Chain A
Amino acid sequence: MSLLSCHNLSVGYGGVKILEDLNFSVERGDYLCILGENGAGKSTLMKTLLQLLPPEGGTIETGDGFKRDELGYLPQQSAIQRDFPASVREVVLSGCLNRCGWKPFYSLREKALARRNMERMEILPLAKRCYRELSGGQQQRVLLARALCATKKMLLLDEPVAGLDPAMQVSMYHVIEELNRKDRITILMVSHDFEAALTYASHILHIARGGSFFGTVAAYRASAFARSFARRRGEA
């Protein structure tokens, strides 16, 4: 049984479908990259999978003992909360909330987890700083540390490397790869980075209005999708 399987899934906003008839499934340990043009509906699909938006048709099933509070999520960067007074530590810790059950406060275990993830993202020295005063790249790392805290089985990332400098991009990909290989965390990543997707992912979901591709990386390389996408990339 798959962790997540979608049958004839359509996504959109308030009755307007942006993508139709998506069929794909995610097994435990998979690394799925979701590729597509700007505005193709990648973020919309992500929000539908997270049940933040209702599907416009079709079904999303979860299986293999996967529960909704076992996933972490990195939203696409937006101008959320420009004037929000919050320290980096407070933001990262809030990712541990889905481990708390009915406990009102964080235990030492959760605090240690937050610390470990801040170390991993190299933001431990910033722990006491105010989130809104950080640079875009630093904020992105804080949000990823928060997502890591929430992750038990699956991690959904919406353009995780956007806004990072090249060195940080590489280390971000390494962190994600390590999570996938060592901790057997299932990864769903929306990406613009075609090359990196083919390097790191095990499966590709390429979405487009006309029709979508889903399969392993090897099958994707051989498909017409990859060739047309790569060609357009080359021209741009």
Chain B
Amino acid sequence: MIDQICQYLSFPFVRYALIVGVLVSLCSSLLGVTLVLKRFSFIGDGLSHVAFFAMAVAAVLRFTNNMPVILLITTLAAVLVLSGGRRMKLKGDAMIAMLSVGALAFGYLLMNLFAKTSNLSGDVCGTLFGSTSILTLGPDQVWLCVGLSGAVLAFFLFFYHRIFAVTFDEDFAQATGVRARAYNQMLAVIIAVIIVLAMNLVGALLISALIVFPALSAMRVFKSFRSVLICSAVLSVACSLAGILTSILWDTPVGPTIVAADIAAFGLFSAAGLFTGKGSS
């Protein structure tokens, strides 16, 4: 099996897939800790559907490079949900649910009405579940991914203590002169970036798993913010690597295999949490 893996690694597309997989899962797990703790677990789900809608728009407009369109629309939606939600009469979760199904429906409608592809259901399925698009990445897409995830990682490193403060107690941070609202806006932009990146890896429907599971697993066992963040990142990268290699070796769909690995890890960590008596809630 080792030989087989080494042989696969000589193909550039496999190396690209592994690089993108590691970077995307690293970013999404870091962000996931904040989102889960801020009670925003569903945002990833809602926004990924918006990204699907954006992809449909780009397809209808026949953009060859659809990344900027998708990034723009998803970022706008993220800022709207995270900052506008506070002011509107609608409850936050109801608004996300509306956005989520609305975007999915209109995205599919648009694709059906206007897109001139022969294999519509194949395209849609690929967008939603990731299919094999991660194995067809070109060098420029990989570089874009490296650049964007580098920026996200730098943001996390530089603002680590501020992110903790704003996540733990936003009112206190704001009251004592930390610009909590500004950090929320920046987080919104980052969520959008990560979702667009993750769409290549696991597809629109499964992004939430990448965001939520590593954080939840880490929280079963660890009890300080820093250790949860580190564990979540390591776990997420390990699961993605395992998932990608498994799917190449046994020819399973990439996205669902990664998610299955994340869920298995969650089971293990829950058991470990119970066993050591540390897991609460």
* Chain A interface residues toward B at CB < 8 A: 47, 50-52, 67-73, 75, 80-87, 90-91, 93-95, 97-98, 100, 104-106, 130, 132-133, 146, 150, 156
Query: Is the Cβ of A84 less than 8 Å from the Cβ of B168?
Result: yes
Whole-angstrom CA separation of A199 from B14 in the bound complex = 74
Identify which of A52, A70, A85, A98 gathers the most chain B CB atoms within 10 Å of its CB: A85
Complex alpha-carbon distance, A97 and B173, angstroms? 8
Inter-subunit contact B176/A85 (CB<8 Å): no
Contact B175 A73 (CB under 8 A): yes
Interfacial chain B residues near A95, Cβ < 8 Å? 172, 176
Q: Which residues of B contact A52 (CB under 8 A)?
A: 171, 174-175
B residues near A (Cβ < 8 Å) are 37, 157-162, 164-165, 168-169, 171-178, 219, 222-228, 280-281
Residue among B157, B178, B219 making CB contact with A104, cutoff 8 Å: B157
Q: Are A104 and B160 in contact (CB under 8 A)?
A: yes
Query: B224 touching A105 by the CB < 8 A rule?
Result: no
Contacts of B176 in A (CB 8 A): 68-69, 71-73, 95, 97-98, 150
Assess the A51–B161 pair: CB atoms within 8 A. Answer: no
Chain A neighbourhood of B157, CB < 8 A: 104
CB-CB under 8 A from B160, the residues of chain A are: 104-105
Complex Cα gap A121–B224 (Å): 21
Known interface pairs A81-B168, A104-B159; A68-B177 also in contact (CB < 8 Å):
yes
Interface of A is mostly: mixed
Is the Cβ of B165 less than 8 Å from the Cβ of A97? yes
Beta-carbon contact of B161 and A85 below 8 Å: no
In the assembled complex, the CB of A79 is this many whole angstroms from the nearest CB of chain B, namely 13
B224 x A94 contact (CB < 8 A): no
Q: A87 — which chain B residues lie within 8 A by C-beta?
A: 223-225
- B280 and A83 form a contact (CB under 8 A): yes
A72 CB contacts on chain B under 8 angstroms: 176
Q: Is the CB of B177 within 8 A of A81?
A: no
Q: Could you tell me if A82 and B281 are in contact, using CB atoms closer than 8 angstroms?
A: yes
* B residues near A68, Cβ cutoff 8 Å: 176-177
Check if A90 sits within 8 Å of B164, measured CB to CB. yes
> What is the distance, in angstroms, from B205's C-beta to the closest C-beta of chain A?
27
Question: Could you say which residues of chain B place their CB within 8 Å of the CB of A51?
Answer: 174-175
**Shortest CB distance A51–B (Å):** 7
**CA A160 to CA B224, docked complex, whole Å:** 25
* Residues of the A chain whose Cβ atoms lie less than 8 Å from the Cβ of B224: 85-87, 90, 130
Query: Which B residues are CB-close (under 8 A) to A150?
Result: 172, 176
CA separation between A125 and B228, bound complex, in Å?
Answer: 22
Given that A82-B281, A86-B225 are known contacts, is A75 also in contact with B169, CB under 8 Å in the complex? yes
Contact partners of A73 in chain B: CB under 8 A: 172, 175-176
Q: Across the interface, name the chain B residue whose C-beta is closest to A67.
A: B177
A97 touching B37 by the CB < 8 A rule?
A: no
Chain A CB within 10 Å, residue with most, of B160, B168, B171, B226: B168
Give Cα A105–Cα B163 distance, bound, in whole angstroms. Answer: 12
| A105 & B161 in contact (Cβ 8 Å cutoff) | yes
Q: Which of B158, B177, B281 counts the most A-chain CB atoms under 10 A from its CB? A: B177
Nearest 9 interchain pairs by C-beta: A69-B177, A130-B223, A87-B224, A50-B175, A83-B281, A94-B165, A150-B176, A98-B177, A73-B175
Chain B residue nearest to A49 (CB atoms) is B175
- Distance of A45 from chain B, by nearest CB (Å): 13
- Docked Cα-Cα span, A133 to B177, in Å, equals 28
With a 10 A CB-CB cut-off, give which of B159, B164, B174, B223 has the most chain A CB atoms: B223
7 other contacts beyond A52-B174, A94-B173, with CB at 8 A cut-off? A73-B172, A80-B169, A83-B281, A84-B168, A85-B228, A94-B161, A104-B160
Chain A residue contacts of B222, Cβ below 8 A: 85
Report the bound CA distance from A97 to B164 in whole Å.
Answer: 10
State how many angstroms separate the Cβ of A117 from the closest Cβ of chain B: 14
